[in-house]
Structures are given as C-alpha cells and as structure tokens.
Structure 1
C-alpha cells in the first residue's frame, strides 16, 4: 500500500529544493501548495513521472483549476499579515497521496 511518506519522498526527490535567502532549505510538506513551491513546468514533469511510478490515472486532473496561482512577494510579510486571496485551489502532495491509494485522481 502506498503511504503519504512514499508520495512525499517521491515529490521531494523530483522537485528542486526551495531555499530561503540565507540558503536554508525549505522542505516540501504534505500540505504545501505545490504552485508556490515549484515552477509549473517542473511540476508537470513530476506529475507525469508520478503517473508512471504509482500507476495512477491522472487523466481527470485539470491543471486549469489550480492555475493561475498568486505567489506571495518575499517582503510582503513585513508589511501585512493578511493572507493572499487565491483565485485557484491549492494543489498538495496529500492530494496525490490519497489519489495514489485510490488508483485515480480524486479531485476536481
């Protein structure tokens, strides 16, 4: 059976590691919005490989529901604590883990 950790480890291996300005690593977590963690192209490549590795039918995955995504300006947190109002849903590793257990994309 596929675990959350299996899928999280897969995405951590496939996606570039994000870092802070001080070069401290920001590790991908189950509920991290993937749109703000990595570039669209890199995510697309990882999703294609996810399909092969976990044998999940992702034909129902409509990326238009998750993009565009407003990215937070780095210094924004110094000026306001209000969250950015997103126009799209978050796409997370947890969604991919649950879909891997089911064998097909569960969302949309």
Structure 2
C-alpha cells in the first residue's frame, strides 16, 4: 500500500515539474525541486513530459528560462554527446535559444 502511495507522490511531482517547465516558470520549478529535496541531475532520466525528457519538453514549449535552468543543473557530460541538439534540429526546433545554451554548457 505504501508503495502505490509513494508512486503517486512521485507521479504528482513529475506532473508539477512538467507543468512548470511548460509554463516557463523557473521560480516555481526551483521551489518544487527544493521542497521535494531533489536535484535535476538525479531525476532527469526518470521524469518524462509527454514522452520527452525535461530539456526536450522545455525546447518544445519554448521555455527559455526553465530550459536554461535545466541545462545549468545538468552535468556537462550528459550534454556532450550532442543528442539534445541533434534531436532539436531533427524535430524542427533548431532555432530554439536553448540550443546555444546547450552548446555553451557542453563546450560544443
């Protein structure tokens, strides 16, 4: 019973995170992460927003502020392969301002 309760709490956290990203509400995103005691780098692979990771969700949503916040809180090594840039360019988001932020952070 407690497992399903925990799962729903995690699910609610993921929903909130996705909503804040879509709304480009960096302040609320930061508060939610802090109050939940989680770091972006620790949940990045687990949280999916409409089937995409948080960074791709930010790119799709034109959420420059939250997207930049996500990029700055990810380890460089997770961006160095250029997969997020290739995905964005391949899906019509090559003009996103986040591409430059990703390139700068990853050293590409």
TM-score, length of structure 2 as denominator length: 0.30
Q: Which has the larger radius of gyration?
A: 1
TM-score by length of 1: 0.30
Question: Higher relative contact order at CA 8 Å, sep ≥6: structure 1 or structure 2?
Answer: 1
More helix by percentage: 2
